[in-house]
Amino acid sequence: MAGTEPLRAAMIEAAERQLAASADHEIATRAVCEAVGVTQPVLYRLFGDKRGLLDAVADHGYERYTALKAAQEQTGDPVADLRAGWDGHMAFARENPALYQLMFTPRPWSRSTARDRVMDLLVAALTRCAAAGALRLEPRTAAQLILSANVGTALDHIARPVLFEDPAPSHRMRDAVFSHVLTEASAQQDADPLYTAALRLHAQLELAEPEALEPTETALLRRWLERITRPDRQ
C-alpha cells in the first residue's frame, strides 16, 4: 500500500500538531481527518483506531528523536558523549512536551516501540563506555537505570516547565545515576576536589560542633562552606 504512505504521514503530522496544541494533550480523530480532508473510515483503515494513530505518532516521535541524536557529534570520549546524551534527551522533552509524554508515559494498551528503541540507542552508547572500561554494570542494566532517571526527570520538568530554565537539578540527577553505573575513575574525573571536601566538612559540622572553634567562628566556617557548595556552582 505504498500509495497510502503520503496520506498516512499527513495524518500523523496533523495528529501531532493537534496533540501539541491541546491543553490536555489529547486528539480528536474527527479533527485530524478534517485537517487532512478525509473521512474517519480512512483513519480506521490506516491505523485501526485512535490508539493505533497515537502509537504511530509516538513512533514518528522516535524518528525525530533519532535525528536529534544523529546530530550530536560523537567524540572519542564515550562518557562525555553519554553526558551530552542525557542533556539532549532533556532538550527533546523541553521542545516537544506533548509528544514526549505520549512516547514515555505508560499506556497499557500501546503497541508503540518508541521507548524500546530509545533504550536500544542508550545501550549502544553504554556499550562504548564498557569497551573503554568505564562501566560498572552490563550495558542494558545500566541503560534501564539511566533511562528511568532521565524520563522521570524530564516528566517532572514538563509538569513544571520553569525547571527547564535551570540545568542544575537535571545534572545532579544525571551525576548521581552515572556515579552508580560508571567506574569510579570516570565518574570522578570532572569532580571539583574543593567542592567535594567542602561538602564533606559541612556535613561533619552538622553532626558535631568542633571544640577548637568559638560558636561565631563555626558559624562563619559554615557560611564559607555553604558558599563553596551552593547549587549554582555545579
Q: What is the pLDDT of residues 24-79, one digit of tens each?
A: 878 999 999 999 999 999 999 999 999 999 999 999 999 889 888 888 878 889 89
Domain 62-188 has CATH 3.30.1280.10: no
Residue 232: its pLDDT value, please? 59
Residue 107: its pLDDT value, please? 84
Q: Could you say which residues of the chain have pLDDT below 50?
A: 1-2, 186-190, 234
3-class state of residue 58 by DSSP? helix
Over residues 138-148, the pLDDT tens digits come to 788 889 999 99
3-class state of residue 96 by DSSP? coil
User: Which residue ranges make up each domain of the chain?
Assistant: 1-48, 62-188, 193-233
Report which residue type is found at 33.
C
Residue 131 burial (10 A CB sphere; 0-12, 13-18, 19+)? exposed
- Distance in angstroms (rounded) separating the CA atoms of residues 176 and 149: 10
Q: What is the reported pTM?
A: 0.74
- Distance in angstroms (rounded) separating the CA atoms of residues 154 and 98: 12
Residue 200: its pLDDT value, please? 63
- Distance in angstroms (rounded) separating the CA atoms of residues 143 and 137: 9
